[in-house]
Structure 1
Amino acid sequence: MELLKPRVSQAEIKSAYPLANIFNNVEKPFLFIGLIVMIFIINYQTFFRYGISTLLELIATPGFERMFGHWLDTEALRVRVKSAVGWGVWTEELARYIFIWISYLAVSLSILNRGGIRVDVLHNRLSAHWQNILWVMIDFCTLILVCLFAYMGLDYVRMQLEMPQTTPALQIGYYIPYLILPVGFGLMGIRTLQALWRQSRGMTLPSVAMGMALSVLLFLPVMLSDDWSASLLLFGYFTLFLVLGVPIAFALGLAGLTTVLGAGTLPVDYLAQIAFSSIDSFPIMAIPFFIAAGVFMGAGGLSRRLLALGDELVGALPGGMALASIMTCIFFASISGSGPATVAAIGSITIPAMIARGYDKYFAATIVACAGAIGVIIPPSNPFVVYGVSAQVSIGKLFIAGIIPGLIMGAALMLVAYLISRKNGWHGEIRERSLKTFMCAAWQAKWALMVPVIVLGGIYGGIMTPTEAAAVAALYGLIVGLFVHRELSLSSLWGASQEAANISSIIIVLMAMATIFGNIMTIEQIPEIIAEAILALTSSKLIILIMINIFLLWIGIFMEALAAIVILTPILLPLVTAVGVNPVHFGVIMVMNLAIGFITPPVGVNLFVASGIANVSIGGLAKAVWVYLLVMIAVLLMITYLPEISLLLL
């Protein structure tokens, strides 16, 4: 995507306008401090609660009474320990409010850097002149949305000040956490104006005016009448904004806003409250923690050690480096929970290494791009967290259900890579491999291998919730990177924290706007209408699952996985449950379908990451990927029609 470049370089701007540079980065210290504080708060909560419960169990044992009963009043001690439980009550509430603040603060930076998830198929086909006009229109539409939310948020804060209410744990006025609405969306408005000014600098005045006029024209129908069909407005405007290239989160928000204005489905003032309450959720906080864990561990050198272990296991076989790359992606998937993050962390090491050893560069990039899709199937998985929250399904059960399908997908890709490498004479590296070298590599990778044990063991051992396990994993990655491997410096920690906050904020604002979209669908009973219409055509589970698979594979071509999950789960879940599909099993089906979307252009983000690393064209990768695509679809069909595979470990 070609963006309009400023007339001066960033270095010149920094030297000439130091105050402007400070202003452009004003959010970053808050993101860094907020993320680190959140991690420590939830770790304190986890270890404090576990320590209290363990101590109470110990006091209740007969052995403790026999040993210390002569010197201690055990009943008084039990009462005193129970009274200490209140010391940790404040943690979850404070962490949630910090999470909301840093999420919305990070969105403003995303706007300034054009970092939102968007469908740019039409945009890329236009001339540079019309691309610039379209950007002005996008910025102006975004400005209308965020300014309205800032105004509504300010009104809500004013109401809280007039009729004070206090939070349950911290006992502070609700206006304090809700201040993020006017502050956060107001800052988004400022950043949007900056982006609009930057975009307009190289354009003629008539072109800028045309972009703004087109924005106004989009809102004209709902300004002239409030008697429109809510369904027509909701899906019509969403599709229109999506095609025009508006970031998906804002396309959802704008579609909801126009529906409210044109059909009166909800009070307009209610939208700002939804923007806060929809993400005021402890389970959703697992997303930034898992992202932070993956970023910290990638920056801390764990990916390189995992690759060395994979090479010990399969490096001697034909296509050894390719097989080791896939195996390393499987290992890293149990840390990051993100497909593109897995490709970036592993591909930056393995793709150049494969090319240097004589592998075809398209093969090298494609194999890592496909293996990176496993990152969202094997737990922990951010899409599973989003689906669990959207569908009200146990995130822990979703995690365990993804293990076997993810391993099968990895094994299938390894088989294809082996056969292609053997055919092309790409042999493994010949060197000494023994139990000693394997044990040495395993010992070097032990800190990385402990992550899934900590996360999954903590969840299924009943010690931690998924969110607490994610926070523990993030702290673990921080400590290992800083003090064990010492490859995570303070400067790289700053960058890693910014990256984690920015990536997670895009997901969080997407979920907030999708909640507005979903509330309107629920009020209009759209999911029920769709389910009844399809069931009227057929009640066959086999046919319905085929239709859903085809639909999701098609959606994955154009839409990012997390966006598709938050939009489609409320629509599809009533349908599949009506024909007897387990919601956990459907979660696996949905995530696997959309994981395949990571390697299907034009929105195949794994392909974009891999192409950048290998310095090859997307078109070439798209031609090379079809063999792996067929194999992945075959695995998908097996998982779809054999639910026992996903549910075996539950």
Structure 2
Amino acid sequence: MEMLKQSEIQDVRERKYSFLNLLNNLEKPFLFVGLIMMILIINYQTFFRYGISTLLELIATPGFERFFGSWLDTEVLRDNIKGAVGWGVWTEELARYVFIWISYLAVSISILTRSGIRVDVLHNRLSQRWQSVVWVMIDCCTLALVFLFSYMGLDYVKMQLAMPQITPALQIGYYIPYLILPIGFGLMSVRTLQTLWQQSRKMTLPDVVLGMALSVLLFLPVLLSEDWNAPLLLFGYFTFFLVLGVPIAFALGLAGLTTVLGAGTLPVDYLAQIAFSSIDSFPIMAIPFFIAAGVFMGAGGLSRRLLALGDELVGALPGGMALASIMTCIFFASISGSGPATVAAIGSITIPAMIARGYDKYFSATVVACAGAIGVIIPPSNPFVVYGVSAQVSIGKLFIAGIIPGLIMGVALMVVAYLISKKNGWYGEVRERSLKTFMSAAWQAKWALMVPVIVLGGIYGGIMTPTEAAAVAALYGLFVGICIHKELTLNKLWASAQDAASISSIIILLMAMATIFGNIMTIEQIPEFIAESILALTSNKIVILIMINIFLLWIGIFMEALAAIVILTPILLPLVIAVGVDPVHFGVMMVMNLAIGFVTPPVGVNLFVASGIANVSIGGLARHIWVYLLVMIAVLLLVTYIPEISLFLV
């Protein structure tokens, strides 16, 4: 009888675990299907449009008329081909709506796993008890924001049902794509409640109540009065939420919400519409595609083949493995567009290999962490995409402007690694290296080396937009990983798609909430006020640029690069334009500043990734990073004051 009871208890536990597991993974099938669907749709659009235009150009040539004109009516053929153009009209609109849906569905996973981008410097210094109390405050604030957006989104859907509007291409009711607002933010509310419940179970009841009470007190000032100063509320609340440790995307949204409530800058109902319309953008879709391309190619074995090629080129020199690591990061930068992704993909192979060959473990981790920063300078680059959208600057021009500065940064790091290795007697692996072995390595890496040719060649050849090039790169990564190298198994593909969707969703939410923040700044004319105030102090271009560099380097210490770009671009761009700086040059300068932030303690994400791989402390890495930082800052100053370096190829 006792054994029967235990069996029943075990069955109940298994059913409960199965239900919770199903609940916690509810979004994942939609993310996988949605991401693959987006990639296929945009590839269809790209090849269909290119095929149509090529056919029309072919028909227009005199040779075609001469050879086929006698038995083929070219005018009718041309009209039929032009009539087929409508077969691709639906693609962009459908892809955009799928993109918005999976972006907001994926945010709920980041809430559940607490993987949002946040400033946790102060939070980590608190006692365990106060950290728990602050987590309750964060969850309560987040819940207030996402529940309100879900409620406002539901109202907007009801309005669309009452006064129906039809989308231009798909000819469906607008309420269908807008359903993501109540569904997506509603799911975020559920996930936030889950994290709040899990956190509360580890705490005493008085501490839980204290956290909830403090979060209510935060909103009391704006609920009791509508006569507050808007800039004071916007920056005051944003700073407070940032210091509190609220994920930056939600800190932006909460600051915007409190400003709207306390100063009446915008109608509250308008916020949900901004959350949709701000990311209903074809250029922004390049972000998940480039991330997916990097993840697919890393999982498909391309990074290992790139390392072998790098080792053939520089492996015999002092510090050969370190130099090969930097060179591989440069190669991989032309695939991933992400600093931490480059460190993870290359460092997981090279850091253990360097340590095994006798290199100092801190040196090994530091080299890869710094080289990973090149991942956001050499195209394609997600920060360039974000800056391009924020500043309304050509993403293609930004990509090409980053090539020379990125290569200079890579060469400078290689020189430092070479000198340190030579001083410490860390020599390259002794083995046969010849033209034959080099050609063999190059042949093995040929599929990876084709990526920048496809992406940049497609963009600058006028064949593809950056978003289309990113989608083609993602499909290419899938094809090579599955069909050529056969290392991208179904399990790896599933995990890679989830990673790509989750990483990109954090960036997309950040951009949506930053749009709300930016709209309020624009209405209050805050960027113009800041620009006029600085210009009143000095109009010297050199002084202003050095001030901006110092400010951005300082910001990079505490804030992730993409968050800094979406927040600061509207503020700083009017200032640099006023002193005659090209917006493309400023984009390169801004991204290089914030790339250095990837390896600047205490929030340098590349350092965290490298320290995890090498199993060393962040403090130890911070003590070894300074020589590299000085060299990277020297390259930054070179690019800042010699704009021809970045604009030469534009």
Q: State the TM-score, normalizing by the size of structure 2.
A: 0.98
Q: Following TM superposition, by how much is the alpha carbon of 1:14 offset from its aligned partner in structure 2, in angstroms?
A: 6.7
Residues 77-117 of structure 1: CA deviation (Å, up to 9, x unaligned) = 00110010010000000000000000000000100110100
The match for 2:136 is: 136
Q: Identify which range, 13-22 or 374-383, moves more after superposition.
A: 13-22
Q: Following TM superposition, by how much is the alpha carbon of 1:517 offset from its aligned partner in structure 2, in angstroms?
A: 0.1
The match for 2:359 is: 359
Q: Which runs of 5+ in 2 are unaligned?
A: 1-11
Q: Which amino acid aligns with 2:266?
A: L
Residues 17-67 of structure 1: CA deviation (Å, up to 9, x unaligned) = 201110110000000000000000000000000000000000000100011
The match for 2:96 is: 96
Q: 1:160 to 1:195 in 2, by over 3 A?
A: same
Q: Is the 8 A contact 1:14 1:21 kept in 2?
A: no
For 1:567 and 1:285, how far apart are their aligned partners in 2? 19
For 2:237 and 2:13, how far apart are their aligned partners in 1? 38
Matches within 5 A, 1:272-287: 272-287=272-287
Q: Following TM superposition, by how much is the alpha carbon of 1:601 offset from its aligned partner in structure 2, in angstroms?
A: 1.3
The match for 1:6 is: none
For 2:60 and 2:14, how far apart are their aligned partners in 1? 64
Aligned-residue CA RMSD (Å): 0.7
The match for 2:622 is: 622
Q: Following TM superposition, by how much is the alpha carbon of 1:259 offset from its aligned partner in structure 2, in angstroms?
A: 0.1
Residues 181-229 of structure 1: CA deviation (Å, up to 9, x unaligned) = 0000000000000000000001111100000001000001001100000
Matches within 5 A, 1:466-615: 466-615=466-615
Q: Is the 8 A contact 1:355 1:361 kept in 2?
A: yes
The match for 1:215 is: 215
SS in 2 for 1:428: coil
For 2:13 and 2:482, how far apart are their aligned partners in 1? 33
For 2:539 and 2:517, how far apart are their aligned partners in 1? 28
Residues 274-305 of structure 1: CA deviation (Å, up to 9, x unaligned) = 00000000000000000000000000000000
Q: Following TM superposition, by how much is the alpha carbon of 1:13 offset from its aligned partner in structure 2, in angstroms?
A: 7.5
Matches within 5 A, 1:369-518: 369-518=369-518
Displaced runs of 4 or more, over 6 A? 12-15
For 1:512 and 1:16, how far apart are their aligned partners in 2? 36
For 1:475 and 1:447, how far apart are their aligned partners in 2? 13
For 1:480 and 1:284, how far apart are their aligned partners in 2? 25
The match for 1:87 is: 87
Q: 1:152 to 1:623 in 2, by over 3 A?
A: same
Matches within 5 A, 1:14-163: 16-163=16-163
For 1:23 and 1:431, how far apart are their aligned partners in 2? 54
For 1:203 and 1:422, how far apart are their aligned partners in 2? 54
Q: State the TM-score, normalizing by the size of structure 1.
A: 0.98
For 1:16 and 1:87, how far apart are their aligned partners in 2? 48
The match for 1:7 is: none
Q: Is the 8 A contact 1:13 1:21 kept in 2?
A: no
Residues 480-504 of structure 1: CA deviation (Å, up to 9, x unaligned) = 0000000000110000000000000
Residues 388-439 of structure 1: CA deviation (Å, up to 9, x unaligned) = 0000000000000000000000000000000000000000111110111000
The match for 2:648 is: 648
The match for 1:312 is: 312
Residues 122-161 of structure 1: CA deviation (Å, up to 9, x unaligned) = 1100000000000000000000000000000000000000
Q: Following TM superposition, by how much is the alpha carbon of 1:15 offset from its aligned partner in structure 2, in angstroms?
A: 6.8
For 1:542 and 1:346, how far apart are their aligned partners in 2? 37
SS in 2 for 1:164: coil
SS in 1 for 2:212: helix
Q: Which amino acid aligns with 1:402?
A: G
For 2:119 and 2:320, how far apart are their aligned partners in 1? 37
Q: 1:58 to 1:585 in 2, by over 3 A?
A: same
| Identity of matched residues, % | 86
The match for 1:335 is: 335
Residues 489-526 of structure 1: CA deviation (Å, up to 9, x unaligned) = 01100000000000000000000000000000000000
Q: Following TM superposition, by how much is the alpha carbon of 1:602 offset from its aligned partner in structure 2, in angstroms?
A: 1.5
For 1:495 and 1:14, how far apart are their aligned partners in 2? 24
For 2:234 and 2:555, how far apart are their aligned partners in 1? 18
Q: Which runs of 5+ in 1 are unaligned?
A: 1-11
For 1:244 and 1:44, how far apart are their aligned partners in 2? 46
Q: Is the 8 A contact 1:561 1:597 kept in 2?
A: yes
Q: Identify which range, 12-21 or 154-163, moves more after superposition.
A: 12-21
Q: Which amino acid aligns with 2:139?
A: D
SS in 2 for 1:597: helix
The match for 2:637 is: 637
For 2:614 and 2:233, how far apart are their aligned partners in 1? 43
SS in 1 for 2:122: helix
The match for 2:6 is: none
